[in-house]
């Protein structure tokens, strides 16, 4: 459209120079249309520029918020991992204490924390099958 108006204005100026002054009317009309169209294009360009800036501001704001969310998620994940690590260490400590593995070898059981374990040191639990109440002949 812009190129067509420029071309039309150029043709009308050539007409004014080579044909006669009657082309001034057409030149004035097409010149006015050209100026109005250029003003319209400029206003659209400014509106597009404002829209792009607004989108860029919104995108920057969104990027900042997403970074905050990612940092908070990473912090929570690290806290969860630390809590799981502590829980695993606590379970291992309880397991080692229950099995009697954490007391020093040179101390007797009663000297380690003042507790005495009433568990058997080893062997089978309960009584052997043959030592039942009576002899069963089946």
124: in domain: no
User: Is 122 within 8 Å of 115 (Cβ atoms)?
Assistant: no
Q: Rounded mean pLDDT of the chain?
A: 83
Which of 16-25, 30-39, 126-135 shows the lowest mean pLDDT across its residues?
Answer: 126-135
pLDDT tens by residue, 107-130: 555 555 556 666 655 555 666 667
Taking the C-alpha atoms of residue 64 and residue 67, their distance in angstroms, rounded to an integer, is 5
81: in domain: no
Question: Which domain does 33 fall in, by range?
Answer: 2-76
20: in domain: yes
**pLDDT at position 17:** 85
At 98, list the tokens: 């229950």
9: in domain: yes
Q: In this model, does residue 89 exceed pLDDT 90?
A: yes
**pLDDT at position 98:** 86
**pLDDT at position 115:** 61
Q: In this model, does residue 1 exceed pLDDT 90?
A: no
Number of domains in the chain: 1
58: in domain: yes
Taking the C-alpha atoms of residue 11 and residue 31, their distance in angstroms, rounded to an integer, is 12
Q: What is the DSSP string of 59-126?
A: HHHHHHHHHHHHHHHHHHHHHHHHHHHHHHHHHHHHHHHHHT-SS-TTS-GGGTTT----S-SSS-SS
Phi/psi of residue 130, nearest 5 degrees: -70, -20
What's the whole-model pTM score? 0.47
pLDDT tens by residue, 50-74: 999 999 999 999 999 999 999 999 9
């Amino acid at each position: 459209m812009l190129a067509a108006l420029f071309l039309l204005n150029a043709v009308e100026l050539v007409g004014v120079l080579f044909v006669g002054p009657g082309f001034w009317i057409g030149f004035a009309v097409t010149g006015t249309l050209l100026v109005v169209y250029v003003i319209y294009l400029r206003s659209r360009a400014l509106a597009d520029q404002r829209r792009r800036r607004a989108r860029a501001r919104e995108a920057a704001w969104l990027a900042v918020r997403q970074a905050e969310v990612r940092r908070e998620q990473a912090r929570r994940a690290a806290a969860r991992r630390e809590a799981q690590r502590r829980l695993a260490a606590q379970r291992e400590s309880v397991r080692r204490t229950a099995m009697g593995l954490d007391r020093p070898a040179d101390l007797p059981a009663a000297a380690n924390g003042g507790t005495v374990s009433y568990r058997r040191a080893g062997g089978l639990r309960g009584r052997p099958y043959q030592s039942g109440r009576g002899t069963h002949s089946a």
